[in-house]
């Protein structure tokens, strides 16, 4: 049974938190500790759902564009990929256990962006995954990014539809997508069709990606639309990272490599939290499902304003794998 963290809220209300933080780059355990600390802070502020940026654990692959990562069979790229794989998250190995425990202890659900070293795909290819953890500390879904963008394809594999799911959270149904998946109209439509009215888009961190699209998704879905970004400053790159000199030279002179831009728009497209740039922090707001019902009166994209007799969408949520094992 769902219970709000704040007993003063009504049955229609939910407190959401946008956790804009930088990773301890390419250090899984240290970044997990930072995520746990932020969940503890969210719990102390009676937050019901806290979300973190894309690929936060253990970090975004900034080196690919900074070091000409498309060079085939390059030794530096092999070494960086090996290091990234070593620090990636293998859920089956219990790497997220501390995060799940923190969610349970704080009665706070979480969306967390990870780099997943997927055991069911051999354990060496990497997926940009968005993990939903409920208030009981149970993992509800692992959504592997369908299509990595530009240079991301040099280090991340394409995902599947298994994680295209929504999760009941009080009066709301929450769903989410990674970064430029939020531009994919059929992926958004799939979540709308499952009843999504709280959309969570996670990003590595950039105002230009969040300030327009977050409002558009809110208006299109007549839903609350959250964008949560990571943050990365030049000073956040650990000095013991392999090939750090080349990486720092490649990212340029600016201190802010990713400037954040986390924000929250209501179902009429108006800002509840304007884009936040350049600073780490937990940004919170109380949302009310009554506002969704009000805005759905004039437009419901999968309800009275849809024509399934003319157009409809097929969603394949089978987890993709190379093998199907049939035992005696």
Q: In which region does residue 224 sit, left (phi positive, over 0), alpha (psi from -120 to 50) or beta (all else)?
A: beta
CA angle, 200 then 206 then 175, to 5°: 10
CB of 155 within 8 A of CB of 59? no
Say which of 145, 263, 277, 295 is annotated catalytic. Answer: 145
HEC secondary structure over 113-145: EEEEECHHHCCCCEEEEEEEECCCCCEEEEEEC
CA distance 166 to 175: 4
End-to-end CA distance of the chain: 40
CA distance 178 to 198: 15
Establish whether 277 is a catalytic residue.
Answer: no
Comparing C-alpha atoms, which of 239, 220, 204 is closest to residue 64?
204
Say which of 15, 34, 54, 215 is annotated catalytic. Answer: 54
The CA-atom distances, in angstroms, between 47 and each of 8, 132, 151, 178, 219 are 12, 15, 35, 22, 25
Establish whether 179 is a catalytic residue.
Answer: yes
Say which of 100, 108, 128, 179 is annotated catalytic. Answer: 179
Establish whether 145 is a catalytic residue.
Answer: yes
CA distance 115 to 294: 38
CA distance 210 to 262: 7
CB-count exposure of residue 185 (10 Å: 0-12, 13-18, 19+)? exposed
DSSP 86: H
Half-sphere exposure (Cβ direction) of 71: Cα atoms closer than 13 Å: 13
Pairing mode of beta strands 13-20, 49-52:
parallel
**Per-residue tokens: 210:** 């969040």
CB of 263 within 8 A of CB of 214? yes
**Catalytically active residues, by annotation:** 54, 145, 179
């Amino acid at each position: 049974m769902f219970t709000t963290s704040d007993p003063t809220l009504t049955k229609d209300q939910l407190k959401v938190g946008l956790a804009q933080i930088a990773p301890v780059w390419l250090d899984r355990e240290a970044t997990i500790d930072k995520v746990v600390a932020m969940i503890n802070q969210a719990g102390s502020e009676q937050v019901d759902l806290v979300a973190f940026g894309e690929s936060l654990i253990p970090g975004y692959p900034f080196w690919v564009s900074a070091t000409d990562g498309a060079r085939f069979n390059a030794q530096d790229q092999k070494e960086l990929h090996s290091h990234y794989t070593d620090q990636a998250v293998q859920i089956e190995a219990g790497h997220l256990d501390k995060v799940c425990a923190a969610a349970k202890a704080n009665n706070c659900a979480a969306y967390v962006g990870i780099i997943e070293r997927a055991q069911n795909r051999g354990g060496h290819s990497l997926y940009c995954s968005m993990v939903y953890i409920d208030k009981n500390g149970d993992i509800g879904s692992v959504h592997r990014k369908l299509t990595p963008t530009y240079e991301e394809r040099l280090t991340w594999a394409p995902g599947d539809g298994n994680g295209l799911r929504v999760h009941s959270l009080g009066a709301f149904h929450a769903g989410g997508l990674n970064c430029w998946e939020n531009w994919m109209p059929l992926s958004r439509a799939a979540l709308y069709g499952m009843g999504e009215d709280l959309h969570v888009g996670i990003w590595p961190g950039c105002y230009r990606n969040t300030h327009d699209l977050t409002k558009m998704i809110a208006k299109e879905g007549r839903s609350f639309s959250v964008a949560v970004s990571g943050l990365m400053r030049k000073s956040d790159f650990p000095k013991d990272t392999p090939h750090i000199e080349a990486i720092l030279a490649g990212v340029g002179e600016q201190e802010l490599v990713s400037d954040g831009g986390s924000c929250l728009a209501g179902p009429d497209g108006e800002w509840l939290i304007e884009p936040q740039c350049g600073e780490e922090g937990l940004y919170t707001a109380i949302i009310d499902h009554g506002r969704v019902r009000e805005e759905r009166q004039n437009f419901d994209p999968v309800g009275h304003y849809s024509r399934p007799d003319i157009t409809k969408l097929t969603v394949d949520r089978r987890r993709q794998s190379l093998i199907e094992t049939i035992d005696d």
